[in-house]
Chain A
Amino acid sequence: MIQYIIRRLFYSIPILIGVNLITFAIFFLVNSPDDVARMHLGTKYVTPEAVERWKQDHGYHLPLVYNQSASGVSRVTETIFYHKSFRLFLFDFGRSDSGRDIGHDVRQRMWPSLAIMIPMFLGGLIVNIAFALFMVFFRGTKIDFYAVVFCVLIMSISTLFFVIFAQYLFGKLFQMVPISGFVSGWSMWKFLLLPVVVGIVAGMGGTSRWYRTLFLEEVNKDYVRTARAKGMSEARVLFGHVFRNALIPILTGTVVVIPMLFMGSLIFESFFAIPGLGSYTIEAIQRQDFAIVRSMVFLGSVIYIVALLATDITYTWADPRIRLS
């Protein structure tokens, strides 16, 4: 397995270079170095000389990917792409175009994101599996029918509506929890309660229905019938056998969302004023801060690659017949 992991990690290098190149190309297709400089210098009284000075000071005076005026290796190294992107492979995110240490900012902002996303993720997982098993238990009955209708109803409503409605109902009308805000330390639970519950409920429809389908596929198989024939209770059949055997697709869908836990949620963080990473990349795009954009895209790619690898590894745990080679 170790060989497999090492091989997969080596595969990730060309993927990361590709991601970097694509990010670079898209960013500079939309924004020229002059645009970046003007965005940072503001809109009033900006002179062409000031733009040139800013570019010089921030390394944007160089050619984008190929320096014709240089010689040898410098033709490649004396470029914006090399200067801005190469250090990422050493996990040195460098400084943002406004001068901040990006690594420090990411470390500071990832904790609020995790504080909201981990309980939402774990709570959602438990609730969705339980609700899906509940529907499977009552399969073919009116309870199952109305539960599916309930899921479709939730799926049809935008998450934004849930957020605004919950803020109105529990924050404004019932005045039980803060509408938005965040504090550090243990007191933060009061601020996380509403977004976490909303996140779980808003995500219930689609996921529960999907899990229900997975469980229904298993529930009529021979081994389940055998278990029932042995006199097992329905709860034990569902949790002990059906659930275990439906775990592979659940794991596939679950582990790949782990990067999103880290990268945060834009809607929840914006509406509940959670100072997480969700808005970091968006704000950087709006401010045309390439240093942050490329760092966040790189980080997202790395975490995604690791999460996919982790998915493969968890398969061996969920199903001992699977061997990684």
Chain B
Amino acid sequence: MCSVIIIGLLAGCGDRPWNYPYGFDLPEKNLFFGSFSERPKHLDPAVSYSASEVVFTGQIYEPPLQYHYLKRPYELETLTAEVLPQPIWYDSAGDLLDSHASPDQVMKSVYRIKIKPGIYYQPHPALAKDSSGNFLYHQLTDDELKDIYAIADFEVTGSRELVAADYVHQIKRLAHPKLHSPILGLMSAYIEGLAELSEELNTKHEQGEQIDLTQIQLSGVRELDRYTYEITIKGKYPQFAYWLAMPFFAPMPPEADRFYDQPGLTEKNVSLDWYPIGTGPFMLVENNPNRRMVMVRNPNYRTDDFYPAEGLPEDKENGLLQDAGKPMPFIEQAIYSREVEAIPTWNKFLQGYYDTSGVSSESFDQVVQFGSTGDAVLTEEIQQKGIRLVTSVAATSFYTGFNMLDPVIGGYSEEAKKLRRAVSIAMDYEEYISIFRNGRGIPSHGPIPPGIFGYLPERLGINSFVYRWQHGEAVRQPVAEAKRLLAEAGYPGGRSRKTGEPLILYFDVTATGPDAKAWLDWLRKQFQKIDIQLVTRTTDYNRFQDKMRKGTAQIFQWGWNADYPDPENFLFLLYGPNGKAQYQGENAANYANAQFDRLFEQMRYMDNSPERQQIINEMVAIVREDAPWVWGFHPTDFGLYHQWYQNAKPNLMANNTLKYKRIDAELRTQLQAEWNRPKIWPVILVVLLILSAVFAVVWIYRQREHRRIEL
């Protein structure tokens, strides 16, 4: 009976398949269905930084610049700005410098940004006004707060035009002591007056004073007119333009701060960190990161944001220019569901309930096979569903670092260099990628990943200390060469020539569990190839970080994701004054080479040019020789897209990519129904079996109860 009721209820789900994993009330329109595993921590643009957050903040907030969606190498273009800002350089006397001025001459750079008029914020209660022009919700009483639990509980919303002052306000927010912006330290070194503002605000905060940023000036950032503002940078910092494409520099209306600062709202968890306000194509209407997050199209979004008409030659072949010139966004609503586990996420993607998916290790063999040329192709089962695979090498470097402060593995003597090079040859990253990453990655030959200026492909970019060019490809040097280098380093046969003691190296690691054991066994095997004993020191994350900060780790694994597509963002990881142990910087290996540092200081201020490439080549040659890292690999991202999901092209730098995507909702509904026809016969069979068992039991019971006992 129960089963019949359940089948009846499931059959009453309307036109949707029985296993439809969303509410029945969702309209069949241009919806995007995605998933996320890690809940975002912050949505405030001054604080938010991680990849799990930018999925949302990138669609809501609009900094003045963005990356071109299709062009490669990555190219900045305007978003809310009228034109791409060109820095104006001044010398110490305040005189204007021309574009040929050397970085030493530049005392300050001024970025003057003019934004487009007629851009409006999403409807939001912070901007709601009554008929007299007073804000409706800026002085909420206890009575008004009684029924407020989420931003959607406010009946009235308002909007207003975006102005330059909102950008100025946001930059000031980076210094707010309550926000703890992760880039405050970095930006204080560049934006004039930001460090002083931070000090001033800290003092106020410690004294318990109320902070109203509209009443406080930031000397390096000012509003010139309603639509223009300028940012003054200390010295020359060409990479600053890239920061202008990040949500940190998106506008924030002061009204939002005044609205969210009301104690009653804070107590109810209604905060800017939870309910963002922006001018972007989407606005967040449901924020339950434990279950789902929903963004809908911003009704106030401007109509002059068009799909790009230019791209790479292959983009046209791939249908990526079909929507050229059409107003964006195409999607009405984006629903992101929380999925902690990979297996259900993958199965729901196969059922058509998620539009896109990555490829997890568990499902890799089901999805991908490598052809004779080494190209990844989809398996027949996946191809039959019309799923497309798009791969792209991430702007990321994973490497094994040597602590250059370590007395055994560190240092700059010829012996130390040879020891590190021997290890670099022995650590077979081709094998690592094949075993542990299902072939998803390419071995690195230097710190710069593909797609970033300075990277050289093929023979030009070969690291000749570890590889040799043979039959048109880079081939790892033989282990014999590593052993030779080891002997020259003073450790013939893996024993110290001086003491006769075996060479023991230590690898500090946080990984635990069965997967980690396989990896650590592999690591030990790599070192054993050249007779070095490797001891892995497993420690918890905090202790490991502590060791790294103190410079007491010996060998470690580390990685870096690009913040922006400039070689400076990778080469600075080896810049001496960025040493982690001494300066708490991002140079985890504590590498310091005066010549490299000098070239870095020269290179970082240059525009991309053959001269810059030449300097980068020199720098890469220096670090290859010094070998502070085993260069590791650059991971390859695998993205799977259903056939109804259009305009998908990986863009590793852009945050606001959802607006370019288009969904064929009709095709999706049709295929979902086709792929998800319920099978009732097994249930009927099970029910019949259970009923038979019940009848049998009842019959036996009755027989036993009515059994005559012969006396």
A31 B682 Cβ-Cβ under 8 A? no
Contact of B21 among A54, A179, A271 (CB under 8 A): A179
If over half of A's interface residues share one DSSP class (helix, strand or loop), that class is named, otherwise mixed; here it is helix
**B338: A residues at CB distance < 8 A:** 273, 275
Pairwise interchain contact B701-A177, C-beta atoms closer than 8 A: no
Q: Are B540 and A174 in contact (CB under 8 A)?
A: no
Nearest B residue to A173 by beta-carbon distance? Answer: B679
Q: Which residues between 164 and 209 of chain B lie within 8 Å of chain A, taking CB atoms?
A: 177-178, 180, 182-186, 202, 205-206
Residue of A nearest to B183 (CB): A45
The A-B contact count (CB < 8 A) is 155
Q: Specify which chain B residues have a CB less than 8 angstroms from the CB of A32 in the assembled complex.
A: 542
CB distance from B678 to the nearest CB of A (A): 5
- Give the complex CA separation of A46 and B580 in angstroms: 11
Cα–Cα, bound, A31→B683 (Å): 51
Given A42-B49, A50-B184; A234-B273 close (CB under 8 Å): no
Q: How far is the CA of A143 from the CA of B699 in the complex (A)?
A: 14
Instruction: Tell me, rounded to whole Å, the shortest Cβ–Cβ distance linking A35 to chain B.
Output: 4
In the bound assembly, the distance between CA atoms of A40 and B542 in angstroms comes to 13
A287 to B677, CA, bound (A): 41
Asked if B330 is at the interface of the complex by the 8 Å CB criterion, the answer is no
Q: Interface stretch among A3-11, A93-101, A317-325? A: A93-101
Q: Give A164 to B50 CA distance when docked, in angstroms.
A: 31
B339 and A31 contacting across the interface, CB-CB below 8 Å: no
Q: In the bound complex, what is the Cα–Cα distance between A32 and B543 (angstroms)? A: 10
B contact residues around A101 at 8 Å (CB): 267-269
A169 to B343, CA, bound (A): 13
The size class of the interface chain A forms with chain B is 35 or more
B-facing residues in A56-72 (Cβ within 8 Å):
56-57
A235 to chain B, nearest CB (A): 8
Question: CB-nearest residue of chain B relative to A96?
Answer: B269
- Which B656-683 residues sit within 8 Å CB-CB of chain A? 676-680, 682-683
**Do A176 and B683 contact each other (CB < 8 Å), given the known contacts A31-B542, A44-B182, A234-B701?**
yes
**Chain B residues near A35 (CB, 8 Å)?**
542, 545-546
A187 at the interface (CB under 8 A from B): yes
Residue of B nearest to A266 (CB): B340
Distance in angstroms from B683 CB to nearest chain A CB is: 7
Interface magnitude class on chain B = 35 or more
Using Cβ atoms and an 8 Å threshold, which residues of chain A touch B343? 164, 167, 271
B705 in contact with A42 (CB, 8 Å): no
Given contacts A46-B182, A109-B290, A174-B679, contact A180 B348 (CB under 8 A): yes
The 8 Å CB contact of B180, one of A53, A270, A279, is: A53
**In the complex, chain B residues whose CB is within 8 Å of the CB of A233:** 705
The stretch among B10-18, B393-401, B405-413 that forms the contact with chain A is B10-18
The answer to whether B180 and A193 touch across the interface, beta carbons within 8 angstroms, is no
Does B344 have its Cβ within 8 Å of any Cβ on chain A?
Answer: yes
A175 and B347 CA atoms in complex are apart in Å by 11
Knowing A44-B586, A50-B182, A171-B19 are in contact, say whether A137-B701 is a contact too (CB < 8 A).
Answer: yes
* B337 proximal to A (CB < 8 A): yes
B527 smallest CB distance to A (angstroms)? 28
Min CB gap A108→B, angstroms: 8
Apart from A47-B184, A167-B344, A190-B13, what 17 extra A-B contacts exist at CB < 8 Å? A53-B177, A57-B178, A101-B268, A101-B269, A104-B268, A137-B701, A143-B700, A171-B19, A173-B679, A175-B17, A175-B19, A180-B339, A234-B705, A235-B701, A270-B341, A271-B344, A273-B291
Cβ-closest 5 pairs across A and B: A275-B291, A47-B185, A181-B21, A178-B21, A275-B290
List residues of chain B with CB under 8 Å of any chain A CB: 6, 9-10, 13, 17-24, 39, 41-42, 49-50, 177-178, 180, 182-186, 202, 205-206, 267-269, 271, 273-274, 288, 290-291, 337-341, 343-344, 347-348, 350-351, 540, 542, 545-546, 563, 584, 586, 676-680, 682-683, 697, 700-701, 704-705
